[in-house]
Copies of this chain bind each other. A is one copy, B any other.
Amino acid sequence: MKNSQLYKGSLNTIIMKLLEENGKMYGYEITQKVKAITQGELVITEGALYPALHKLEAEGILDVEIEKVDNRLRKYYKLTEKGTTETVNRLSELEDFIRNMQSLVNPKLEF
């Protein structure tokens, strides 16, 4: 990520949510999707992405499947069963996080 420190810690959640939504994706595709959705505001660097994908795979959250397209390598990732369950938790945590942050910075509104 090439942004404010705030994104620190959110990469795994982003990856998992995108995979939940799209079934399977490869690394480069994830970076492009995130860039598109955030209108260029959030740029995920390879140095952050690939280690994160490898770790999620090692933890049994993701499965990998290699394909060769146009003579180029692609590693498609998808959620395992465990990963799908874990994604629900992560998204719930994200909702709590956002709600808490809004309470902190916007104490006049009710949440």
Contact = CB atoms under 8 A, between A and B. Distances in A.
Interface in A3-56: 3-10, 12-14, 17-18, 21, 34, 37-38, 41-42
A103 interface: yes
B100 A42 contact: yes
In this complex, the interface size class of chain A, counting residues with CB under 8 Å from chain B, is: 20 to 34
Interface stretch (A59-67, A70-78, A89-97): A89-97
Given A9-B6, A12-B5, A105 B100 contact: no
Contacts of A4: 9, 90, 93, 96-97
Count of chain copies: 2
Pick the most buried of A18, A96, A97: most chain B CB atoms within 10 A of its CB.
A97
A103 B12 contact: no
